[in-house]
Amino acid sequence: MVYRKLTNFEINLLESKGCIAENWDNVEVREGFDPLRCKNVRFSGKVKIGVLKKKFDECPGVLFPAGIENAFIHNCIIGDNVTIYNIRDYLANYIIDDEVVIRNCGRIYTEGRTAFGNGTVVSVMNESGGRRIKIWDRLSSHLAYIMVLYRHRPGVIKKIEELIDRYTGSQVADAGYIGKNSRLINCSHIRNIRVGACAHLEDVLFLNEGSINSNASAPVFVGPGVIMEHFIICSGSKVTESALVERCFIGQGCELAKQFSAHDSLFFANSKGLHGEVYSVFAGPYTVTHHKSTLLIAGFFSFMNAGSGSNQSNHMYKLGPVHQGVVERGTKTASDSYLLWPAHIGPYSLVRGRHLKNVDTSIFPFSYLVENNRESVLVPGINLVCTGTIRDEIKWSFRDIRKDPDKIDFVNFRYLTPYSVNRMLRGREMLVYLKENCDGNPDFYCYNNNLKISSSALQRGIELYEMGVLRFTGGILIKRLADVKIESLEQLRASLSCNGKSGAGEWVDLAGLIAPKKEVEKLLSRIESGDIDSLEEIHSSFKMMNDNYDEWTWEWVVDYLEKVSGKNISMFAPEDIAGLIEGWKRSLIMLNEKLLEDAGKEYSYASMTGFGIDGNNEEKIADYRQVRGLYEDDPIVKSILSETEEKPEEADRLACRIKVLAG
């Protein structure tokens, strides 16, 4: 931008409009500047002003002309067509981009040199600071997972912190920034804040030391009554309705509202906090808490839905609040549930009741953990036949509100993956061990001293895990062969080949990103050695893992099939493949029948209680159907019925094609 000194004529016009300056030589303008657009303005320090021509239509019929009125401006660069109106205190040390509106605000200023929230230390999961993490503008859930939970790799943590320090140093400035087309309306006190383009801040009470990384594709809204200190908000997020936030990172597409309180916590893609409180929490993607009575504290959560009154204890009144919990992806807590930390809850679980002993269900995914007579009772695998699990996978993808084309978190929505299937295999192995190593026929089996499993639940868990593994492995096999031209045994075996062994073995869930553990370890070693020397390279590595999910999943399936069959995939006969397809079909039908049975409970007569409030049974049923619809019209039911009808037929056709090769 080219600026020039004011002319004497322009200075006289400004003074006639009530404007004053410590030194008019320090006020520069762009060619086309209209001094009549400034009224009752006090200038100090060095000020640059752009062209002021436009009018802004805030709502139909209410126009605000670009210009500066009733304000004290100190050391600012003001872009074209900016509206600054009624600044009660002052606006100091800011670069204000084009077409920004700042109206009826108190004090907006930058003081000293600041990195705008970058480098803030957050004591997540451990209030005493054992898992401290430094936040930065593009912190992903995956990088945070490593930094917070891989403390057994101190060399890696040190290297990543050095990279974050380098980035933080590059962001240090002594002037704040308000991006193009942003709106700041009725904001009381804003200090050391960087605001991206198209942000909307309205009726905010206090913002201190932070970045609001808004953009035109995904604006950020910060609303009434909000108080925030030492924070970063990513694109497309909303913080409003008197939320209180201190030392937090808020990822893309998140919402904190309705007096929600958050302290020393991390929130990632599409997480939502309303009414309740979190303290020292790692909230992985899609972590949701809606209720006033809910407290999440000192834990790792992911794809989690917290019931009203959910609570945990991290303080034993001995060595301080040092205990932590891990609640893996897809877990729900029922109303008034309680967990005593330390505890570890396996993926896709339901927690109900109060658990007063330290429980570890990590190898039992898709389970219920319930309280019975003050004992913790496990029902393994039962969520595999609960429609809520199917609904979750569907709803998560539909509820991705991130509009920014540049996604920070890579989110895998699938519930059957090598990560969850490996857990099922381990869980089945343990259930079989418990069954075979217990004298007599007990009513309950004991696991790790703190968990009870009924004999019927144990046997059913073994069967459900077997069906779950068959459904996954067979489904991947059918997907691999579905669109492949197979006219010979050689073509069949070529289709079954895989490029390597990266996907074989254990997998991990890096807070949304599901990847082979050996690939994660490879990344950590490259970081530690200095082979990867930038945060951008780490992000690219996560993207590569996400992009390779399908191929690595096939490698996992091949490795699994070779282990259980005892022969190389290249030696599989057509009958072997046809047998796997038949096993998949049986598991699909059996699991779907149980899912439909579970869905039917929602349409049973018992579920109609409270409907047709002043009528007879017919009116009760009619009222229920008007509100809830028909069983056969339910979208989840229709999806399961369609799959049960169509997929086995596709499998039969594929099996027939393969069996021909045996002849």
pLDDT for 73 beyond 70 = yes
Where residue 452 falls (left for φ over 0; alpha for ψ -120 to 50; beta otherwise) is: beta
**Can you tell me the distance from the alpha carbon of 565 to that of 157, in angstroms, rounded to the nearest whole number?**
41
For 271-397, strand residue ranges (E) read: 272-274, 277-279, 282-283, 288-289, 295-297, 299-301, 305-306, 311-313, 325-327, 332-333, 338-340, 343-345, 350-352, 354-355, 368-372, 375-379
Is 460 exposed, middle or buried (CB count within 10 Å of its CB: 0-12, 13-18, 19+)? middle
**Can you tell me the distance from the alpha carbon of 638 to that of 641, in angstroms, rounded to the nearest whole number?**
5
What's the average model confidence in pLDDT over 178-204? 98
Partnered with residue 26 across adjacent β-strands are: none
Where residue 12 falls (left for φ over 0; alpha for ψ -120 to 50; beta otherwise) is: alpha
Residues composing the chain: 663
Q: Token pair for residue 515?
A: 């990847």
Whether 568 maps to a domain, the answer reads no
pLDDT for 64 beyond 90 = no
Taking each helix axis from N to C end, the angle separating 489-496 and 455-481, rounded to the nearest 10 degrees, works out to 120
Q: Name the band, by pLDDT with cuts 50, 70 and 90, for residue 556.
A: very high
Q: What percent of the chain has pLDDT over 70?
A: 100
| Nearest residue to 39 (alpha-carbon basis) of 3, 63, 15, 4 | 15
Whether 105 maps to a domain, the answer reads yes
Whether 655 maps to a domain, the answer reads yes
pLDDT of residue 421: 98
At 600, the amino acid letter reads: G
* Overall number of domains in the chain: 2
Taking each helix axis from N to C end, the angle separating 489-496 and 635-662, rounded to the nearest 10 degrees, works out to 130
Contact 663, 488 (CB under 8 A): no
**CA-CA distances (angstroms) from residue 523 to 243, 256, 631?**
37, 33, 48
Whether 329 maps to a domain, the answer reads no
**Can you tell me the distance from the alpha carbon of 220 to that of 256, in angstroms, rounded to the nearest whole number?**
12
pLDDT for 160 beyond 70 = yes
State in Å, rounded, how far the first CA of the chain is from the last one. Answer: 79
**Can you tell me the distance from the alpha carbon of 392 to that of 396, in angstroms, rounded to the nearest whole number?**
6
pLDDT of residue 365: 98
Main-chain phi, psi angles of 626, to 5 degrees: -65, -35
Is the sign of the CA dihedral 632, 633, 639, 643 positive or negative?
A: positive
How many other C-beta atoms can be found within 10 angstroms of the C-beta atom of residue 12?
Answer: 12
How many other C-beta atoms can be found within 10 angstroms of the C-beta atom of residue 437?
Answer: 8
Task: For residue range 366-391, list pLDDT tens digits in order.
Answer: 999 999 999 999 999 999 999 989 88
Q: DSSP characters for 295-325?
A: EEESEEESS-EEPTT-EEE---SSS-S---E
Q: Token pair for residue 262?
A: 């958050």
pLDDT for 58 beyond 80 = no
For 505-637, strand residue ranges (E) read: 507-510, 513-516
| Nearest residue to 377 (alpha-carbon basis) of 404, 350, 347 | 350
pLDDT for 574 beyond 80 = yes
What's the average model confidence in pLDDT over 411-419? 96
pLDDT of residue 128: 87
Task: For residue range 259-280, list pLDDT tens digits in order.
Answer: 999 999 999 999 999 999 999 9
Angle at 351 between CA 349 and CA 353, to 5 degrees: 165
Partnered with residue 453 across adjacent β-strands are: 445
Whether 583 maps to a domain, the answer reads yes
Partnered with residue 107 across adjacent β-strands are: 90, 189
- Which among 87, 109, 131 is the end of a domain? 109
- Which among 59, 83, 109 is the end of a domain? 109
Q: Name the band, by pLDDT with cuts 50, 70 and 90, for residue 493.
A: confident
- Which among 109, 133, 156 is the end of a domain? 109
Contact 343, 451 (CB under 8 A): no
Whether 30 maps to a domain, the answer reads yes
**Can you tell me the distance from the alpha carbon of 598 to that of 274, in angstroms, rounded to the nearest whole number?**
30
| Nearest residue to 232 (alpha-carbon basis) of 272, 193, 281 | 193
**Can you tell me the distance from the alpha carbon of 544 to that of 531, in angstroms, rounded to the nearest whole number?**
16
Q: What percent of the chain has pLDDT over 90?
A: 87
| Nearest residue to 66 (alpha-carbon basis) of 48, 78, 75 | 78
| Nearest residue to 286 (alpha-carbon basis) of 297, 270, 298 | 270
Q: Name the band, by pLDDT with cuts 50, 70 and 90, for residue 438.
A: confident
Q: Mean pLDDT, the chain, as a whole number?
A: 95
**Can you tell me the distance from the alpha carbon of 231 to that of 214, in angstroms, rounded to the nearest whole number?**
14
Whether 396 maps to a domain, the answer reads no
pLDDT of residue 301: 98
Question: Whole domain around residue 638: which residue ranges?
Answer: 574-662
CA atoms within 13 A on the CB side of 202: 12
Where residue 353 falls (left for φ over 0; alpha for ψ -120 to 50; beta otherwise) is: left
Contact 284, 329 (CB under 8 A): yes
Whether 520 maps to a domain, the answer reads no
Q: Name the band, by pLDDT with cuts 50, 70 and 90, for residue 354.
A: very high
pLDDT of residue 663: 60
Q: What is the DSSP letter of 611?
A: S
What's the average model confidence in pLDDT over 625-651? 92
